[in-house]
């Protein structure tokens, strides 16, 4: 990763996500951008300018404090602070475009990254707005490099594996084990095997300890959840465009079982 955007609202979960990102990528050959966006919930014309000024001042102070905390542990860190007015998804999209960001890091607000972010309106909006990878970090995730990565994929819909580079970069850096899991209730083993051969998976995963698993489950998200839990995975990698249903799922609530189980970072690519 060359340019990493760290989005913060100065909450505990945002700081945890920042700490996780710095643990993964460190301060070598990475430029960080620490972003805080602020906006008014209700526009009151006669108070608008003064309130914006107050919010901007609070944002700048928060970023300065946040930066000091980060620099205390990473003195050589190259990091730029950005305070901007606007909704989070809109502000992040603009910075991603203006600064050619490679990865966006955000924290989840509740017990589950899958519940509170991917299925939350802000992150759903962000996923729709930008094409760059997004790393979603839940509050109680253990701060350690991923030893086991689960890549959930619908193999038959993939045309090019270049989009996997962020995951492969992490796997090579930390010698992570990658499990490629295809959760489906429709595709046969032979179709999946042909997809693996067509895409030349082995060539892309050279030097990486990886294996493939086929899981039969009509409910794709339930199947992914159960597999991640059983594997004791440290990170889940998803590509929403592979699963047509994901676009709709981003707008729906999930079961209590999913809320309780998914507590690991999710890399959306």
Strands 134-137 and 148-152: what pairing?
Answer: unpaired
Query: Domain segments of the chain: what residues?
Result: 3-137, 148-268
Arithmetic mean of pLDDT over the chain:
80
The answer to whether domain 3-137 and domain 148-268 are alike in fold is yes
Kindly report the number of other CB atoms within 10 A of residue 80's CB atom.
12
CATH of 148-268, one of 1.10.3720.10, 3.40.50.620, 2.30.30.20, 3.50.50.60: 3.40.50.620
Instruction: Output 124 or 52, whichever has higher pLDDT.
Output: 52
Q: Which fold has domain 3-137?
A: Rossmann fold (3.40.50)
- What's the CA gap between 35 and 28, in Å, rounded? 20
Instruction: Output 232 or 256, whichever has higher pLDDT.
Output: 232
pLDDT band at residue 250 under the 50/70/90 scheme: very low
pTM metric for this prediction? 0.85
């Amino acid at each position: 990763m060359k340019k990493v955007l760290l989005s913060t609202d100065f909450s505990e979960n945002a700081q945890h996500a920042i700490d996780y990102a710095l643990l993964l990528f460190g301060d070598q050959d990475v430029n960080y951008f620490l972003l805080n966006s602020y906006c008014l919930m209700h526009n009151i014309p006669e108070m608008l300018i003064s309130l914006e000024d107050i919010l901007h001042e609070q944002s700048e102070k928060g970023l300065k404090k946040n930066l000091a905390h980060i620099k205390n542990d990473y003195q050589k860190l190259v990091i730029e602070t950005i305070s901007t007015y606007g909704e989070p998804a809109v502000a992040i999209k603009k910075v991603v475009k203006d600064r050619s960001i490679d990865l966006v890091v955000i924290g989840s607000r509740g017990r589950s990254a899958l519940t509170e972010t991917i299925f939350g309106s802000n992150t759903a909006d962000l996923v729709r707005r930008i094409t760059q990878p997004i790393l979603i970090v839940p509050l109680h995730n253990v701060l350690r490099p991923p030893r086991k990565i689960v890549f959930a994929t619908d193999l038959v819909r993939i045309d090019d594996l270049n989009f996997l580079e962020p995951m492969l970069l992490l796997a090579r850096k930390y010698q992570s084990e990658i499990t490629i899991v295809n959760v489906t209730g429709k595709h046969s083993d032979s179709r999946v095997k042909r997809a693996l051969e067509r895409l030349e998976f082995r060539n892309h995963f050279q030097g990486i300890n990886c294996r493939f698993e086929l899981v039969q489950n009509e409910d794709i998200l339930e199947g992914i959840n159960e597999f991640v839990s059983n594997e004791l995975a440290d990170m889940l990698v998803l590509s929403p465009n592979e699963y047509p249903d994901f676009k709709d799922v981003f707008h729906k609530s999930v079961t209590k079982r999913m809320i309780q189980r998914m507590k690991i970072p999710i890399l959306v690519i």
